Structures are given as C-alpha cells and as structure tokens.
C-alpha cells in the first residue's frame, strides 16, 4: 500500500485505543516559523494529555504518512516548497514524489483509509461568497459527503458564505451538530449568526451518534461536530465585521480570484487585527483538539 501508518498509530488502532487525526496545513501554511512547529508539538501533546494518540498527516517524498515522528514534523514545518494538498492532489503528489501538507479533505480521506474515525481541525472549507458568479466551493464538502469520519471543528471560516455552506451540507447529507450550543460557530466567532438543528453536550453523546451512523448502514458520510471558540477568546465581533468587509473590498479591488482568495483574506485579517484573528484561530484549534481526543476516547470504549 502507498499509505504509511506509523508504528504508534498502527498499534493504537489494533488495540482499539483512541486516535485523533490532525491536518498539516496549519503547520506548513497557516503559521509563521518557528511558531508553526511549536504549535504542531503543542497540539500533539494536547491529544496525549487527554489519553489519545495523535496522528498528524502529511505527504513526504510521495508517501502519504499517518502519524509523523519529530524529524518528519520538523520537515513539514521548515521545508521550502511544501505543496498544499486537497484530496484531488494526492495521486499527483504520490506519483511525483512531492512533499505536501494535507487540507481537511486530504486529511479526512487518508485518516479514514487508515481506520481513524475522529479528526480535529480549525474550520471547514465551504461555499464561497459570490458563488452564483464563481461556482467556488471547497472540495471539503463533497469529500465529507462520502467519507465516514467525525470532524471536530469551529464551524466554517467566516470569510465564506455560512448559510449557503450549511444548506450545501444538508443537501449532501452531512450531519451537523453544535457542541453545547444551538448556534453554528463562525471560526473566529462563537456564533456565526445561524442556528443548528441538533445539539450534543458530551463526548459520549457524539460517540453514540457515530455508532448509530454505523448501525443504520447509511451512506458513508461524515459527522460534523461544531465546537465554538469560547466567547472570551473569540475575535471581537465588531472588529471582525469591519476588517472582513475591508478585506473583501481589497480582494475585489486587486482582482484576487480562485485558490488565492482564502489566503489573501486570512492574511488581511491577521495583519489588520494585529494578530488577534490568529489568536482566536489557535484558541479554536486547541479546543477542537481536546474535544476530539475526548470523543475518540468515548468512541474507543464502545
């Protein structure tokens, strides 16, 4: 098989110990050096403190790897030319011997192939603003519609069209539940302004939904657990609204299109909030990782 699963992750799965998949784009593309490596280590340690095994996922020299050792983690953090890989890019990366960091779609696919059921990330991709003109939609949504994995996230990035994304997830048959809330979180914000139909309040309840998915024999779709960033750690909503509006105008003015839109907007938010958006992002990721480890533990008990 092309997929390489680390010995630690392989042994944990074989003995039904809890495992949490972690993406690598936040390491390679989401944070400046050397903070990116510090955060990567911190997130893995947070999983371990909850009694679970972390499985950071990336592609190194054309080999998809589930679970990285320290040297491999450093390479993803420090190497130049690390590709950003969605699930569609995986065959190309494998065939060309590339080094790449996995997005939500690629991480979810490789985690599921390895037998991992729980995945923690920051925010999902979704339907972009001006969709009627651009038809721009993240590959995350389609992949989650056909992959049996539980994704703990802080909703979708607030630069996206949140209500359209929720509608799209419904159409695709992807289950969505708020964790401890009946409001859908907005990544940097605790509340995107939109409701969710279902609320789960404990890791055990999440695990019961996962078991029900299997028992029903339903299509192999994901469960999205939307875990809001704590209000005291969210980005100030007024600042967020003002800077996002400015970012969208700048994007249109400079003619930024396609895959360049998301990094342009996120970079604008970081620079024009004096790093506050990045702090909110990291607070969300930390909370998601801890919750995912608890969900994986409840799932492993079943």
Q: Give tens-digit pLDDT for 177-209.
A: 999 999 999 999 999 999 999 999 999 999 999
- Domain residues for the domain of 106 are 4-301
Mean pLDDT of the chain: 94
Task: Convert the pLDDT of each residue in 29-41 to its tens digit.
Answer: 988 899 999 999 9
Query: Which residue is it, tokens 């590709």?
Result: 83
Whether residue 149 is predicted with pLDDT greater than 90 in this model: the reply is yes
How many Å apart are CA 284 and CA 233, to the nearest integer? Answer: 8
Question: What's residue 302's pLDDT?
Answer: 82
Rg of the chain in Å (alpha carbons): 18
Count of the separate structural domains present in the chain: 1
Average pLDDT over residues 262-268: 85
Q: Give 131's pLDDT tier (boundaries 50, 70, 90).
A: low
Query: Which residue is it, tokens 């360049």?
Result: 260
Whether residue 59 is predicted with pLDDT greater than 60 in this model: the reply is yes
Judged by DSSP in three states, 234 sits in coil
Q: Give 133's pLDDT tier (boundaries 50, 70, 90).
A: low
DSSP 5: E
Question: What's residue 132's pLDDT?
Answer: 60
Query: Please, are residues 284 and 122 in contact by the beta-carbon 8 Å criterion?
Result: yes
Query: What CATH number has the domain bearing residue 127?
Result: 3.40.1790.10
Strand partners, 118: 20, 150
Active site residue 84: no
For helices 276-301 and 35-49, angle between their N-to-C axes, nearest 10 degrees: 30
Strands in 117-164 per DSSP E: 118-120, 150-153
pTM for this model (two decimals)? 0.95
Average pLDDT over residues 103-121: 98
Question: What's residue 218's pLDDT?
Answer: 82
Query: Please, are residues 122 and 91 in contact by the beta-carbon 8 Å criterion?
Result: no
Angle in degrees, CA 202, 295, 64, rounded to 5: 155
Task: Convert the pLDDT of each residue in 211-264 to its tens digit.
Answer: 999 999 988 999 999 999 999 999 999 999 999 999 989 988 999 876 677 778
Exposed, middle or buried: residue 63 (CB in 10 Å: 0-12, 13-18, 19+)? Answer: middle
End-to-end CA distance of the chain: 29
Whether residue 1 is predicted with pLDDT greater than 60 in this model: the reply is no
How many Å apart are CA 251 and CA 215, to the nearest integer? Answer: 46
How many Å apart are CA 216 and CA 201, to the nearest integer? Answer: 22
Active site residue 238: no
Judged by DSSP in three states, 266 sits in helix
Query: Which residue is it, tokens 């994007």?
Result: 251
Query: Which residue is it, tokens 């279902």?
Result: 198
Q: Give 26's pLDDT tier (boundaries 50, 70, 90).
A: very high
> Measured between alpha carbons, how far is residue 162 from residues 27, 42, 123, 221 in Å?
25, 29, 12, 20
Judged by DSSP in three states, 50 sits in coil
Question: What's residue 261's pLDDT?
Answer: 78
Whether residue 271 is predicted with pLDDT greater than 80 in this model: the reply is yes
Question: Which has more confidence, 258 or 90?
Answer: 90
Count of residues for the chain? Answer: 302
Q: Which among 44, 50, 137, 157 is annotated as catalytic?
A: 157
Average pLDDT over residues 49-73: 98
User: Do the strands 150-153 and 118-120 form a parallel or antiparallel pair, or are they unpaired?
Assistant: parallel
Which residue, among 100, 103, 23, 25, has the nearest Cα to 56 in the 3D structure? 23
Task: Convert the pLDDT of each residue in 39-52 to its tens digit.
Answer: 999 999 999 999 99
Q: Which among 7, 11, 23, 208 is annotated as catalytic?
A: 23
> Measured between alpha carbons, how far is residue 259 from residues 128, 139, 193, 220, 270 in Å?
11, 11, 26, 28, 18
How many Å apart are CA 117 and CA 298, to the nearest integer? Answer: 12
Exposed, middle or buried: residue 141 (CB in 10 Å: 0-12, 13-18, 19+)? Answer: buried
Q: Give 137's pLDDT tier (boundaries 50, 70, 90).
A: confident
């Amino acid at each position: 098989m092309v997929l390489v699963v680390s010995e630690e992750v392989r042994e944990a799965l074989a003995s039904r110990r809890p495992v949490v998949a972690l993406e690598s784009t936040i390491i390679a593309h989401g944070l400046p050096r050397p903070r990116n490596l510090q955060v990567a280590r911190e997130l893995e340690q947070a999983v371990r403190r909850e009694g679970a095994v972390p499985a950071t996922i990336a592609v190194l020299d054309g080999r998809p790897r589930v679970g990285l050792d320290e040297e491999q983690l450093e390479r993803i953090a420090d190497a130049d030319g690390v590709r950003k890989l969605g699930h569609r890019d995986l065959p190309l990366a494998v065939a060309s011997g590339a080094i790449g960091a996995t997005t939500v779609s690629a991480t979810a696919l490789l985690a599921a192939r390895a037998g991992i059921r729980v995945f923690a990330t920051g925010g999902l991709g979704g339907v972009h603003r001006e969709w009627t003109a651009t038809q721009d939609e993240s590959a995350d949504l389609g992949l989650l519609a056909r992959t049996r994995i539980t994704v703990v996230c802080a909703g979708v990035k607030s630069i996206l069209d949140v209500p359209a994304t929720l509608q799209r997830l419904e159409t695709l048959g992807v289950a969505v539940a708020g964790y401890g809330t009946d409001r859908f979180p907005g990544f940097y914000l605790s509340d995107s302004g939109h409701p969710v139909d279902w609320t789960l309040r404990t890791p055990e309840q999440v695990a019961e939904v996962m078991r029900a998915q299997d028992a029903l024999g339903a299509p192999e779709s994901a469960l999205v657990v939307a875990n809001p960033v704590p209000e005291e750690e969210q980005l100030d909503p007024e600042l967020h609204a003002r800077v996002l509006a400015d970012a969208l105008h700048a994007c249109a003015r400079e003619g930024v299109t396609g895959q360049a839109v998301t990094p342009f907007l996120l970079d604008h938010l970081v620079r024009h909030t004096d790093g506050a958006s990045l702090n909110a992002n990291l607070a969300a990721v930390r909370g998601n990782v801890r919750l995912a480890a608890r969900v994986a533990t409840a799932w492993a008990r079943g």
